[in-house]
Structure 1
């Protein structure tokens, strides 16, 4: 055997699954093991730097020769057999023979399953089973158990987690071990960028001190400073934003503002004033992400006033148009966060008009075309919250079409694909109310596929990780929207999604505990996991997830944030807590918590439209209270609670999300049953 290549793995697959096999093959060979794990000795031997080479016959077989002999040799030289499992694989004679051959020539080798289709619970011969019969045959005591591996399906682990699971299985590592070490590796990556930014801040301080020295020297220093500022507001920001270094970005913005504050405004050029406005935008974004909306608005308003004056002076200058479009967006965004929808709509209309002016100047400018897509999305959000569903649907679909075109024209531009995914998220949101559950699920699956493709390509962007978690949580919410009537397959899929994303949600907060957006993502992920576990009857697991969420909500940045999205999440946590009390038979505690929830909810102005899940919270709390009254024998009180809820929500029944609609119709059904019993 000397001179023959030793393979890390052999991928066995049906011809129908060749695209899956190719994708898994490339992702595994591209996967880089964290340096702290390299050399660690496991049951599978020392951990290598890379999982190479991996054998896939259509890539690695010679053009001529004995196919069977080549396969046998490759199987004998492979440490692991990865079987791409699907109905086609289950029916494939060749896949079954390769499994048998691997066991014959490599009796101590490991076999991992990569499920890409079919039903793992079904038999190999009923057309829906995914495991080849040979894979289920074993001389081990656990014969008949489901094979070890990863579920690449949308409702399972997903692609990126599937690759990590296969890597862990190939190397004999625990899943949490490989994920945590991967996070440490990514932390080291951003250290160099952080040190560079601190060095630049020091240089900025030095440049500011000498800016008013001898005239010729001052001009040279000023030019250097302007170039450095441009770098700090563009390239450096692009490097720091994806890894969540808000603290360093804050220092950058403050340095830029301080630099310009040291110079008389009348001496600043239009370009310098524009850069100062961008610094205010940056500071506003950071304050917003950290939950300080008042401070954020102060920065955005100063930027808006400045760019408006510049636009009056140079109305045809595309740079001035673009800068003011950003100011209009941020002022509108702040108004939206504060629930002032009319003000937000006015600003977003201005933003859209400015974006259209830019594309009239240059219809091939990708950045300006993207602004048009963003503007349509923003208006769609306003229409959605104003219950103008046809307008919202039109705006979101227009934004998605623009984003899809931009992604197709820029296949190597990550942001273009992220923008397309974000547009699809809003499409899914409105389709849930206008077109139904299947249409919304399809849009969510398209969105998740985009994120998985980016993360599988080793894109080191933590915001993409956050967006992927949010998308998967949204898909899980759709799957369990029927509540207690959720089909078992949908519940299992939702639990698989939510449990798999727990690792990544925790990683976000380990990376930057002060990032309010990431904290919100982690809290919501845990709350929906608790909800899914309650539906599945796992009270202890639900309580564990709820307590995790409560711990995350105890952070000072969360406690001081009074925005609608945080308030709504607190209310949702109250509903989950009450349901846990009910499951634990602590009925009086549940009643008190539900009463508090209802009181807090209706005390909020415009709770039906301001809160994304306001109607659901109201309907679910009313149903739970009615259930408690019925258990005490107070049928009339229970009927009164349900009737009141139905009366309040009836005018917006056609605009309810699926979970809210489920609660609404359940109450209607219970009222109808009571009426029938009375007659």
Structure 2
């Protein structure tokens, strides 16, 4: 350490908070004090242009029993101490020792707190795992008085990072927060005006920044820092302001100009921070391309971002922030490869994303956001496997996601959002396990999901989204109970009706609450159609008709007519099936035949069901069996037998990959066909 060198501040932090400490160090050293404040006399002396240097490096502490001489010297020569406060910092021997040493060496020094996690109001005695202030921070000073530390709360629900950063800057330079906010806001507003005014001005700004590289070394460093401060603003704050209002044109210009600036610097000479900003610019362009439906360019931009974050990670492989950034790059490349039909690349990148997520929780096991990344990574793999009909792989991935979410939820209070994710993942696992493990396994998993709602862990009382999930779970369970169709036991049929009848009232309330919401309307349609199916099996034809009429009433809304996608198409098929079966049950065979033939007109042309819509085999087999029953009732036995033989031909090759109701229809076709052939013999 050079003799006489002083530091603007010393950052004290727990090893668990090193990623945040790096971010804070970079933000403080690159923050340009508003020019109108520079030079003003304050209680801390004249306001400087920049807060440099700031001391952060104490990586050699882990191998020693006492503070090193270099750290003690840095503490003695620091104008201020910034304590990164978290439950980990509160329990850290070194953080507490640095606070005490700083106060001993600098009785009049500035001590500031930056809260990143925990609860500043927690009682250390009764809530030791929640308190974030290290005990040394609250110890009496030389005069015996205990003073609350000046705290900048970085948490989203408090000051947020930007405001908290300004609090720290104000505390370090000795100006009022209001004064700094006003000057900073004026400067940032001027930037917004310049950037959004015209893309030509962006070109001028970035071209000017590029030319600064030929200035004198000290001037170039200062200008470069200002340029990167502007770029950081463009990629974060400006994006946050423009993205919600749909200004994709300006965002596109921002990303392009940032890339132009860094391309002018030469990729080989870039620091990891510069490579990171360049990667974020390509990421921004990818997001814009995606919003505009340009999948090819989106994929290419995310791929270039991936290359940059890969280079960064090679240099800083143990830094959590870098691992996280590359994990996001891997995810986006995988996702857009999937959308382009490149499933091999999608699986490769999703696998990399999963592995990086596990590395994150090795770095910091207590980071909830990183724990969630593990669950999301498994979910992505599962979704890809479902799309490929790789059911066993999908079950493994979905179960892994569920286990991770359960681990995260174990210590969380009731109604924590993580419990909602657990419940919804249970529904997904049930859907997959119906194919891999059978109807009983799926019923057990859905029962677990509904028990979670009933336990109070997830309260649906005032949350319409959760109420929708409850209805979906109920009709999914009812569908499985009556999946054997004509072979459904009286007990299962009664249980299904007991579930569906009260659920119909809840579905109506859901739609009445927000009539334009197509997702909720779809839930109501599905619930009523499965209720109609159960009523038909119970022989209650008029009750079935009433449920069907309610479903078609929900479908009569103008928004439904324009709805597209497989889920809506499947519901229309289901309505046609129920209509045909009601006609048949009432003895109107001609009308029943017309309805079913209309439904089968499209599905009847499909020869390979392995890649078809998930439930399409059921609607084909159920419709075809119903049509065969109608033809038999009309005396057309030969044609009915041909239809049943076709059902067997089409579904037998995929019988290990179809759902339980489809399998029941296949079994009914076999049995009826065999009985007809035996009778003929």
Q: TM-score, normalised by structure 2?
A: 0.56
Aligned equivalents of 1:578, 1:434: Cα separation in 2: 31
> Partner residue of 2:488?
486
> Partner residue of 2:380?
378
Aligned equivalents of 1:593, 1:478: Cα separation in 2: 25
Deviations 1:504-539 (A, max 9, x none): 434544555555543433332232222222223333
Shift of 1:554: 4.9
Aligned with 1:497 (options 499, 505, 514): 499
Contact kept? 1:524, 1:569, Cα under 8 Å:
yes
Shift of 1:639: 1.4
> Partner residue of 1:177?
none
Aligned with 2:474 (options 472, 475, 478): 472
Q: TM-score, normalised by structure 1?
A: 0.56
Give the 3 Å change call, closer, same or farther, for CA 536–411 of structure 1 in structure 2.
same
> Partner residue of 2:323?
318
2:224 corresponds to 1:209: no
Aligned equivalents of 2:450, 2:535: Cα separation in 1: 23
Alignment of 1:112-511 (within 5 A): 208-209=192-193, 211=195, 252=244, 254-255=246-247, 258-259=250-251, 261=253, 264-266=257-259, 270=276, 274=280, 277=283, 295=293, 301=299, 304-305=302-303, 307-308=305-306, 310-315=308-313, 316=317, 317-328=322-333, 330-331=335-336, 334=339, 345=347, 348-411=350-413, 414-453=416-455, 457=459, 460-510=462-512
> Partner residue of 2:532?
530
Instruction: Look at both structures and tell me which one has the larger radius of gyration over its CA atoms.
Output: 2
2:571 corresponds to 1:569: yes
Deviations 1:354-407 (A, max 9, x none): 434444544443333333223333333443454434333333332322222222
Contact kept? 2:522, 2:568, Cα under 8 Å:
yes
Aligned equivalents of 1:632, 1:567: Cα separation in 2: 30
Aligned equivalents of 1:345, 1:554: Cα separation in 2: 41
Give the 3 Å change call, closer, same or farther, for CA 219–553 of structure 1 in structure 2.
farther
> Partner residue of 2:638?
636
Aligned equivalents of 1:637, 1:352: Cα separation in 2: 53
Give the 3 Å change call, closer, same or farther, for CA 522–275 of structure 1 in structure 2.
farther
Alignment of 1:494-643 (within 5 A): 494-510=496-512, 515-554=517-556, 558-603=560-605, 606-643=608-645
Alignment of 1:83-122 (within 5 A): none
Contact kept? 2:324, 2:356, Cα under 8 Å:
no
Q: CA RMSD in A?
A: 4.2
Higher RCO structure, 1 or 2 (CA under 8 Å, sep 6+): 1
Aligned equivalents of 2:461, 2:237: Cα separation in 1: 27
Contact kept? 1:366, 1:406, Cα under 8 Å:
yes
Contact kept? 1:470, 1:521, Cα under 8 Å:
yes
Contact kept? 2:357, 2:374, Cα under 8 Å:
yes
Aligned equivalents of 2:339, 2:401: Cα separation in 1: 21
Shift of 1:438: 2.5
Aligned equivalents of 1:539, 1:633: Cα separation in 2: 24
Deviations 1:279-331 (A, max 9, x none): 976996xx8xxxxxx84958964873564354245335134224324424643
Aligned length: 449
Shift of 1:440: 1.6
Contact kept? 1:418, 1:451, Cα under 8 Å:
no
